[in-house]
Structure 1
């Protein structure tokens, strides 16, 4: 039976990710084939994580294309024309950029010969101080009703939420919200005793959540092990640690399994199917706020990770699910405002961009936001059980993710600071450019961001190095075959029904900006990888005016 486990580490980061149900020193029940380990798409695949493989390190010279085999099933009849003023001497023509998108969205997956594209719709926006702006959307935001996607269409952006939370944290720190120690203030000073108890020990003194035993991800061996864990000492963890994701705690989504060996997130996601199969899954969580969401999982200390360390094992595998979920809670607690209010005041209004939301009510989600789709072609648990309504995506079996999580899509978007944001790529590109390159933060806050990057030596090589900062990773490419020598600042995202990439391109060891771009598609599992399209844009843009 086809595995439906999303192990993004195995493809994205060049490691031997744990096989489905692989848990060492355990007799826990294996996850059923539909179980999906959703490793947050936070790490660029340019740098293999935690292992060195020459084959993997050289693979990027062969991924400059964006697909293979244009199929008739992927109709381009509704494609719009690009917006913006892109052009100029040395700039790749706008028509060429459009052709890259059209080719990508029409390309069939080599895994499914004879079938069409696995991407319903895609929206992207790029800007360059040299060439201007290029904004384009193609395909559908809703397959069932044949609704086209436009540049204004709101989309889930998953882990691209984290830079937004980082920007708010930096700005509030500069204004004194966290006290005289700023980013070096410890978490225990910023939350109430009741909140800390709820997030660690839990509210039932007869059944404390920690210390305890469960299956935990080993960042050295990439296996799950039945291990003891303790409560984190939040008097040792600062805002700076949360922003860098080296806070000494496990990623609550990706690095912790339940005592029976299943994943809590997957239980909620496929609750109806698991019940149909006679299992007893834990129900989907309420996504009304980030605190309730994180409380249901709980915080767990990782004894193998050094707080503030800079080795690979010291960072969350997602580079920030736990850290940024906790940051979102702290921001709301310290200001008395919702994250939506803070986003509007600190991000949206100053930049004069379209609204962004975290806590989206059902009516707004169904009327304004692109539906997300995952592809399950050939999966009998989806195609034959009748549990979920099936959508025809160019001959593929697809699910509208509105069907998952008991039909409450908020349950799959990680409410809070880790990955719940809704935005359109054009507005997010304006934010990301202003955040990374200047124009949003105060001078002091911008300086904190610039100085936040720490190199991760065991994830770095002479031709490509990786540093992690506050919600942003920096990849420095130097003479990688088939790729330009540039610095890339990025933090992409993936959740059910959405995959996003972003990038700020700079000349090597320079503040000279080549371009800023954002790409989002409304399909994730089983779909084409938009990183291939981003690579094509990087190669086209970085070659201009001094790019190598």
Structure 2
């Protein structure tokens, strides 16, 4: 990689800070199993003038989803279920399901439907949704605050409440970003007989050496935990009613008063806290087809299977109405992350088969096995749709690749 071109990443990060778009950020690039670039810019805490550093902890939000998906595949490899199994095999509360009829205008306009399968949960084709999406089901979810926030109690209770609502559509008919990974976290608990967080710690974090990652801010972290900012007025997650405020970096959460410091919810869709080196270990494991050091988290064939497109075509071809962490044209979806099908249609440099995902606080990662490349980007600004930092970063990294 051209070191001079990699230097452009630093000025790009600083520009976002200077323009008060991001408080601060960190970028870590590995190629061929070695670090080739790290840079941090700006602040993790504006109010106390604390720099964004390598050991800064952030809310990973939806970058939790690929971790949950790997956990499901660990259990799959043990022969404990198959992916076409209905979720009701593990969670009986989903046995008698209803879905909204096409064009429904009220939550009671439903028809019977089968329970979604594990595969449909993994690929966001289950009929579940998120409160910040448009539509009848998201409105009902928002009214009941079904968001799987860190301070919303136990996972089993929240999943049971979710099961009382109908699905947004018949499972398999559409793609819609959803709380499906949270339901999968509960499946993992039932199948493994262990709390979800314990399973992740034992089967993924400990083997990978991810000592700073979990569902709570680590004890003693203090102000290493970055503050969260938003350019919106009101709730930074209320995308349906998003209104820009007069502040581009309005504080919404900080150490000392954050629910992530005493979380009781173990959200498989968005609950993890971690730092950049920890997440790079996870990304490198995926790039290396499940291998880390001399051992495997998942087998190479399973890793390959995860990072292929599991949809019939592009995400855009499945009629999504929802928010998504990635473009929908030129992109398919694997198990827990997006897959580049056509970089031209995605309008962003990359390789066919890139596997990636991000979080609503503008974090992002991708692995490119053709180029032996892994990249992790961390910041803390919600929502992630605020600025086009992800395609810009991909362009910067690819511009530095000279072979």
Match of 1:189 in 2: 89
In 1: Cα distance, 2:101 partner to 2:48 partner:
42
Q: Alpha-carbon deviation of 1:265?
A: 7.0
Contact persistence 1:293–1:415 (CA under 8 A) = no
Structure with higher Rg: it is: 1
1:371-386 to 2 correspondences below 5 Å:
371-376=227-232
Higher alpha-carbon deviation: 343-352 or 127-136: 127-136
2:64/2:272 contact within 8 Å kept: yes
Point out the more displaced range, 478-487 or 327-336. 478-487
1:465 correspondence with 2:330: yes
Q: Does 1:539 align with 2:399?
A: no
CA 217–466 in structure 1, closer or farther in 2 if over 3 Å, else same = farther
User: Are residues 1:242 and 2:121 paired?
Assistant: yes
Q: Which runs of 5 or more residues in structure 1 are unaligned?
A: 1-87, 108-116, 202-209, 270-283, 383-392, 506-510
1:174 Cα deviation (Å)? 0.2
**Is the 8 Å Cα contact of residues 252 and 322 (structure 1) preserved in structure 2?**
no
Name the CA distance, whole Å, in 2 between partners of 1:232 and 1:359. Answer: 39
1:150 and 1:484 mapped to 2: Cα distance?
A: 28
- Which of 164, 167, 176 lines up with 2:67 in the alignment? 164
Q: Secondary structure at the match of 1:354?
A: coil
Query: Is residue 435 from structure 1 mapped to residue 300 from structure 2 by the alignment?
Result: no
Secondary structure, counterpart of 2:41 in structure 1: strand
Structure 2 partner of 1:524: 382
C-alpha deviations, 1:287-337, integer Å up to 9, x for none?
3332233334445444643x334xxxx112x2xx33211100011122122
* 1:129-528 equivalent positions in 2, closer than 5 A: 129=32, 132-176=35-79, 178-179=80-81, 182-191=82-91, 193=92, 196=93, 225-230=105-110, 236-251=115-130, 254=133, 263-264=142-143, 286-302=151-167, 304-305=169-170, 307-309=171-173, 314-316=174-176, 318=177, 321-360=178-217, 367-376=223-232, 398-402=250-254, 408=259, 415-438=266-289, 439=291, 440-451=297-308, 453-457=310-314, 459=316, 465-479=330-344, 483-484=348-349, 486-487=351-352, 488-494=354-360, 498-505=361-368, 511-525=369-383
Instruction: Give the conservation status (yes or no) of the 8 Å contact 1:169–1:331.
Output: yes
Alpha carbon RMSD of aligned pairs, Å?
A: 4.2
Q: Give deviations 1:118-156, integer Å, cap 9, x for gaps.
A: 322212222112874322222222222222221111100
Q: CA deviation at 1:160?
A: 0.9
Check conservation: 2:122, 2:180, Cα contact below 8 A.
yes
Deviations 1:333-355 (A, max 9, x none): 22122222222222222222333
Q: Is the 8 A contact 1:242 1:327 kept in 2?
A: yes
> What's the TM-score once normalised by structure 1's chain length?
0.58
Deviation at 1:242, TM superposition (A): 1.2
Q: Deviation of residue 94 (structure 1)? A: 3.9
CA pair 292-285 structure 1, distance change in 2 beyond 3 A: farther
CA contact (8 A) 2:28 2:37 kept: yes
- 8 Å CA contact 1:129–1:514 kept in 2: the answer is yes
Residues 458 and 538 of structure 1: CA distance in aligned 2, closer, same or farther (over 3 Å) = closer
2:13 match: 101
Q: 1 CA distance for matches of 2:147 and 2:329?
A: 38
Separation of aligned partners in 2, 1:401 and 1:330: 30
Structure 2: runs of 5+ lacking an equivalent:
236-245, 292-296, 318-327
In the superposition, relative to structure 1, how do residues 139 and 452 fare at CA in structure 2: closer, same or farther (>3 Å)? same
For residues 249 and 262 of structure 1, the distance between their equivalents in structure 2, rounded to whole angstroms, comes to 10
Distance apart, 1:520 and its partner CA: 2.0
For residue 226 of structure 1, give the secondary structure of its aligned residue in structure 2: coil
Matched residues, number? 377
